[in-house]
Structure 1
Amino acid sequence: MSRIDESRDFLPVRIAVLTVSDTRTAADDRSGDTLVERLTGAGHALAARAILPDDRGAIADRLRAWIADPQIDVILSTGGTGLTGRDVTVEAHRDVYEKEIEAFATVFTIVSMQKIGTSAVQSRATGGVAGGTYLFALPGSPGACRDAWDEILARQLDYRHRPCNFVEILPRLDEHQRRK
């Protein structure tokens, strides 16, 4: 069963938060605020924050820039994961992924089903890895951001979490690029 191993030290990670919205501003970005509150409250560092419109190319460019930044370990985006024509965050994420974390979407759906029932099928939340950086695309509602953080990411981004977690393999995510 999963648990926190108190004999291990907490290792903070550096997390960037990207809000994808045609209408949100810094003054009313409740989902971005939710993620920032949760990650800093857990002891992690906010490495960067931005708001971009629903533009696939611009989103992918920002993701690539943050992936290339050695001061960013994890990117959390919120918004643009639905089914409408303007929802292109998932496609932008997949444009940059080296590997997709398929189980993230599955586990997020299970968590969502417990909160919103079958409406969970309308989310296309996703996770992946690129350039030694974790990327997660979350829905644009504060509730979905809370659920993703509280039920999945808070544990997986905690080095003390057992039996395994994302932090302990972080140094090995780009090992294929270092081999000669």
Structure 2
Amino acid sequence: MRSEKEKMLAGDFYNADDEELVKEREYARNLTFEFNNTRPSEKRKKEEILRKLIIAKGSFYIEAPFYCDYGYNIEIGENFYANFGCVILDVNKVQIGNNVLLAPNVQIYTATHPIDPEERIAGKEFAEPIVIGNNVWIGGGTIICPGVKIGDNVTIGAGSVVTKDIPNNVVAVGNPCRVIRKI
């Protein structure tokens, strides 16, 4: 029998009220609370808090406030920056490459719910992983939806809603986000 966490990470329906998952979300919320309430001048302390939460392969900087569900599903590459108000609902894996910049209020959602109202009312949830390539700039207020892959060397325009994969070497904007030109 698989645990609810195993189901969650496999992208299957799972119970978010599972005791283990509730404890893990509480742990992440306590760390993000501590991070968000640490003085801006205490950069080393802020980084130490985040390194308890996320998987960082190199240098990074995240402005407060920052919010996530679990933290351990977030993997960031070298030279990552997230501006104010970043939200990552990491119910499934979020893999972010090297040299990625997130403007203010970028939201990354792996979590989703069934379209069928009966399944949704029954409390079913699931999640799909998100992959963001290398050398990507995501404009302010962008929302990245579950299951999306953004290629390398991409710029996403401010206010975009990314519902489908974006290929390498393009500029993409809009709701829904679409490629407007190659780089």
Interval containing the TM-score (normalised by the shorter chain): under 0.3
Query: Higher helix fraction: Structure 1 or Structure 2?
Result: 1
Query: Higher strand fraction: Structure 1 or Structure 2?
Result: 2
Q: Looking at CA atoms only, which structure, 1 or 2, has the larger radius of gyration? A: 2
TM-score by length of 1: 0.26
TM-score by length of 2: 0.25
